[in-house]
């Protein structure tokens, strides 16, 4: 019998720090959740391992994945099967992402492709690999962590061009996923400008507040919400 039997199962990428880590931290406070925390370098994820020492065995699994390494992503189901068994995956949160400082006229093609690989192509492929596990669940939710920078209406002006373009593409991926699988729930969500290493010291929102909103929203959305582009507080973002 799977360790996830009769409990809610989660897979989150980019969990060694920032929003990803905070999502894991809040989820494992409930023994009803089985959390699979994925990151590039688990050996260096000190906070994750410290967190694991505080929860019951089987509630938190730390696994290795670099979403920009497509070969590794294609083989990722081998890490999921021993944890999930025949149990479905209720929630996939595509959170891992990177950025680069550039503008529309200073985009470096190689740097842009690296950002696109991590922020869009990786999540798209991981969603494919996780699809059989999601289909076994009665919940079937994919959350693609986007940004208001992905909006054509509300964005960063001329800054962070590569990042903004990839988040816009991630929003479109969400729409395409919804169209292909109307039996599932796909959401693109902006976590807000959060005080993390990526968000910087000038950010306005604490990680705890952002993640509280994310989890409240993602656990309450229905099929009618699928394909929407939302803020962590539930507001619709014009796109």
pLDDT score of 3: 46
Residue 105 in domain: yes
pLDDT score of 80: 97
Residue 227 in domain: yes
Residue 236 in domain: no
Instruction: State the total domains in the chain.
Output: 1
pLDDT score of 139: 97
Show contacts of 173-178: CB within 8 Å, 24+ apart: 173/120, 173/123, 173/124, 173/144, 174/142, 174/144, 174/146, 174/227, 174/229, 175/227, 177/127, 177/142, 178/226, 178/227
Q: What is the average per-residue pLDDT within 55-67? A: 95
pLDDT score of 196: 73
For the domain that residue 57 is a member of, what is the CATH number?
3.40.50.720
Task: Report the percentage of the chain scoring pLDDT > 70.
Answer: 95
By residue range, what is the domain housing residue 183? 8-231
135-190 pLDDT, tens per residue? Answer: 999 999 999 999 988 898 877 788 999 999 999 999 999 999 999 999 999 999 99
pLDDT score of 1: 38
Total Cβ atoms within 10 A of residue 124: 17
Residue 239 in domain: no
Cα 27 from Cα 33, distance rounded (Å): 6
pLDDT band (50, 70, 90) for residue 199: low
Q: What is the average per-residue pLDDT within 203-222? A: 93
Residue 143 in domain: yes
Residue 19 in domain: yes
CA distances from 6 to 9, 11, 90, 137, 204 (A): 9, 16, 11, 11, 38
Q: Please, which residues bridge with residue 11 across strands?
A: 36, 92
pLDDT band (50, 70, 90) for residue 192: confident
102-130 pLDDT, tens per residue? Answer: 999 999 999 999 999 999 999 999 999 99
Residue 220 in domain: yes
Residue 223 in domain: yes
> Is 198's pLDDT higher than 80?
no
> Is 2's pLDDT higher than 50?
no
């Amino acid at each position: 019998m799977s360790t996830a039997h009769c409990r809610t199962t989660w897979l989150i990428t980019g969990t060694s720090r920032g929003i990803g880590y905070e999502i894991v931290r809040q989820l494992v406070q409930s023994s009803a959740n089985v959390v699979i925390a994925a990151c590039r370098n688990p050996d260096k994820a000190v906070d994750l391992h410290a967190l694991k020492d505080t929860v019951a065995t089987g509630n938190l699994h730390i696994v290795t994945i670099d979403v920009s390494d497509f070969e590794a992503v294609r083989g990722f189901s081998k890490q999921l099967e021993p944890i999930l068994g025949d149990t479905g995956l209720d929630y996939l949160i595509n959170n891992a992402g990177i950025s680069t400082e550039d503008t529309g006229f200073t985009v470096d093609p190689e740097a842009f492709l690296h950002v696109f690989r991590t922020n869009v192509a990786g999540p798209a492929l991981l969603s494919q690999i996780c699809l059989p596990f999601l289909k076994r669940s009665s919940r079937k939710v994919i959350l693609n962590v986007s940004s208001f920078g992905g909006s054509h209406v509300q964005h960063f002006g001329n800054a962070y061009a590569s990042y903004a373009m990839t988040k816009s593409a991630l929003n479109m991926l969400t729409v395409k996923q919804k169209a292909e699988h109307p039996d599932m729930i796909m959401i693109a969500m902006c976590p807000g400008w959060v005080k993390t290493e990526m968000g910087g010291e000038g950010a306005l929102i604490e990680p705890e507040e952002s993640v509280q909103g994310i989890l409240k929203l993602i656990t309450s959305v229905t099929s009618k919400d699928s394909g929407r582009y939302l803020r962590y507080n539930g507001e619709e973002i014009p796109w």
